[in-house]
């Protein structure tokens, strides 16, 4: 009997299942946090119920581990978040103005952007963010070649295909500087600045 992959994964020996639970404790914490936020309370009973439910979800619906071996650098992450807020605001008002202003809608285009080699999680993060900012939308992803195909609403206003590539690579650089491990930064050709290589380096 060969069931679907998820079925065989849940039927593994108990020891393997226990190890998977141990490996995926960050996921259980996140699920428990969502549970508490939904109830709007951090009472002890709610937290325990959330942890139990999180463990149940991870045990019944197993996902492959994300392989998060990145870092978290507070200052670049702040830069990323602040720039994101600024960009989504300007991008939103730009699209709003494009929609409301009289006259013809500008011509758009599909631009291929080759990103740096990076872990999948950060690649996905860059792809998600580039749908919200700058003026682009991910329509196709070639994960193996690390190429994003972006649709740009107003190609002329974004500086043409080259402008779109430059903006997206800058966005990726901000993501990598915030979350990539030291090795991944070097592999991506972004040697960390001297200040970041100091004792502040997260693990």
Partner 1 sequence: MNLDDPDIWVAVADVAAAVFLLLGAFLTFSAGVGVVRFPNLLARMHAVTKPQVLGLILMLVGVALRLRSWPAVTMLALVVVFQLLTSPVAAHMVGRAGLRTRKVSPDELEVDDYTDKAD
Of the candidates 106, 89, 87, 109, which has an alpha carbon nearest to the alpha carbon of residue 168?
Answer: 87
Cβ of residue 203: shortest distance to partner 1, in angstroms? 26
Cβ of residue 164: shortest distance to partner 1, in angstroms? 9
77 and 179 Cβ atoms separated by less than 8 Å:
yes
Other C-beta atoms closer than 10 Å to the C-beta of 118 total 23
Which of 7, 56, 61, 96: binder of partner 1 (CB under 8 A)? Answer: 96
110 and 139 Cβ atoms separated by less than 8 Å:
yes
Stretch that binds partner 1, among 7-15, 20-28, 69-77, 90-98 (CB under 8 A): 90-98
- How far lies 124's CA from each of 6, 75, 106, 147, 158, in Å? 23, 21, 29, 11, 22
71 and 197 Cβ atoms separated by less than 8 Å:
no
Question: Is 53 an interacting residue with respect to partner 1 (CB under 8 A)?
Answer: no
Question: Is 40 an interacting residue with respect to partner 1 (CB under 8 A)?
Answer: yes
Question: Is 88 an interacting residue with respect to partner 1 (CB under 8 A)?
Answer: yes
Phi-psi category of 176—alpha, beta or left, where left has phi over 0 and alpha has psi -120 to 50? Answer: alpha
Instruction: Indicate the residue among 133 and 185 with the shorter CB distance to partner 1.
Output: 133
Cβ of residue 90: shortest distance to partner 1, in angstroms? 10
Instruction: Indicate the residue among 151 and 187 with the shorter CB distance to partner 1.
Output: 151
Instruction: Indicate the residue among 140 and 183 with the shorter CB distance to partner 1.
Output: 140
Crossing angle for the helix pair 120-132 and 160-179, to the nearest 10 degrees:
130
Cβ of residue 139: shortest distance to partner 1, in angstroms? 4
Question: Is 45 an interacting residue with respect to partner 1 (CB under 8 A)?
Answer: no
Contacts with partner 1 in 152-171 (CB under 8 A)? 153, 155, 161
Cβ of residue 34: shortest distance to partner 1, in angstroms? 7
Across-strand partners of 136? 152
Contacts with partner 1 in 116-145 (CB under 8 A)? 127-129, 131-133, 135, 137-141
- How far lies 201's CA from each of 36, 109, 155, 156, 171, in Å? 31, 40, 39, 40, 21
> Which residues bind to partner 1, rule: CB under 8 A?
34, 36-41, 88-89, 91-93, 95-100, 105, 107-112, 127-129, 131-133, 135, 137-141, 149, 151, 153, 155, 161
């Amino acid at each position: 009997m060969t069931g679907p992959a998820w079925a065989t994964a849940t039927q593994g020996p108990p020891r393997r299942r226990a190890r998977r639970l141990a490996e995926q404790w960050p996921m259980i914490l996140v699920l428990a946090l969502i549970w508490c936020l939904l109830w709007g309370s951090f009472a002890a009973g709610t937290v325990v119920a959330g942890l139990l439910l999180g463990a149940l979800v991870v045990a019944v619906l197993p996902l492959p581990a994300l392989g998060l071996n990145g870092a978290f650098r507070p200052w670049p992450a702040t830069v990323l978040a602040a720039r994101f807020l600024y960009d989504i605001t300007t991008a939103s008002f730009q699209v709003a103005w494009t929609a409301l202003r009289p006259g013809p809608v500008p011509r758009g285009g599909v631009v291929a952007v080759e990103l740096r080699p990076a872990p999948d999680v950060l690649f996905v993060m860059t792809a998600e963010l580039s749908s919200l900012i700058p003026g682009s939308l991910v329509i196709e992803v070639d994960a193996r070649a690390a190429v994003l195909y972006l649709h740009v609403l107003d190609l002329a206003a974004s500086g043409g295909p080259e402008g779109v590539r430059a903006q997206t690579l800058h966005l990726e650089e901000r993501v990598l500087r915030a979350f990539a491990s030291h090795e991944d930064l070097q592999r991506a050709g972004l040697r960390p600045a001297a200040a970041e290589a100091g004792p502040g380096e997260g693990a």
